A and B are shown apart, each in its own frame.
Chain A
């Protein structure tokens, strides 16, 4: 009877099975030189204009709430309410 013991004892190599032909890599279509990494995006900073300037001031909590409430009620920005307030003050001042 044929002796198959040697066949069954064939030791598996430490590297496992080699890749089949259909598992070939797909690198030979790549460009000769790797494309350069894209430039990192730089966040555009708007150039400063002199159209507006910072105008910081401290007010009381009550004033702040009332001012904001009026601005909301009349659909104004706070700066628009401030400008209207200034115009009103100038008008009162002229009438004195």
Chain B
């Protein structure tokens, strides 16, 4: 299969980059794909810690998980795996553009608040201005609570000229609990929550194909 690079980036921390990167990596791994999950945040390295927790608790590996200080070092692995999944640092920089330029799809997670939506859209604008194709940029709604805020957030993103993924990630303690144990948000003990998270991951896949 064609080697695919997908990146999760944002200007802010806590919007769900690692959560979605883990879920996507899990889904890809469970369907038999070779996965490299690159954590580009050396200061936190939360994905590496999460995967260690996963293995220690006896759950299946999702593939190769590694922390990289420089985005360029992670990009070198693009040809060795079916999916290279880049989990960006909690700020935008030249490295964000670097990973966006080699990505088949750039996912910008955002919570449903103006404080999160504004920087997410501004970063999407900036990536577009730097030559990243608009159809390679998608925003993903995370940590949402009510249908009305989802509706307003979708309208906000659509009005900005960018694409928002179908499905969204709800703010649920069970998602946090699953990740505490080294599982992803598509592997909670509640099938309904798994399906909702899976819908978001499926939406990402549909934009890759």
Knowing A24-B122, A25-B122, say if A15 contacts B94 (CB, 8 Å).
no
Residues 112-156 (chain B) with a chain A CB within 8 angstroms: 113-114, 117-119, 121-123, 125-130, 149, 152-153, 155-156
Contact-residue bracket for chain A = 20 to 34
On whether the beta carbons of B127 and A14 are closer than 8 Å, the reply is: no
Q: How far is the CA of A30 from the CA of B152 in the complex (A)?
A: 32
Nearest chain A CB to B75's CB is how many angstroms away?
Answer: 12
Smallest CB separation, B101 vs chain A (Å): 10
Chain B 90-114 near chain A by CB (<8 Å), digits 1 or 0:
0111111110000000000000011
- With a CB–CB cut-off of 8 A, which chain B residues contact A16? 114, 156
Interface residues in chain A, defined as those with a beta carbon under 8 Å from any beta carbon in chain B: 13-21, 23-34
9 interchain residue pairs of minimum CB distance? A24-B125, A18-B160, A27-B92, A32-B95, A25-B122, A24-B126, A13-B152, A28-B97, A30-B93
Residues of B that sit less than 8 Å from A by CB: 11, 69-71, 91-98, 113-114, 117-119, 121-123, 125-130, 149, 152-153, 155-157, 159-161
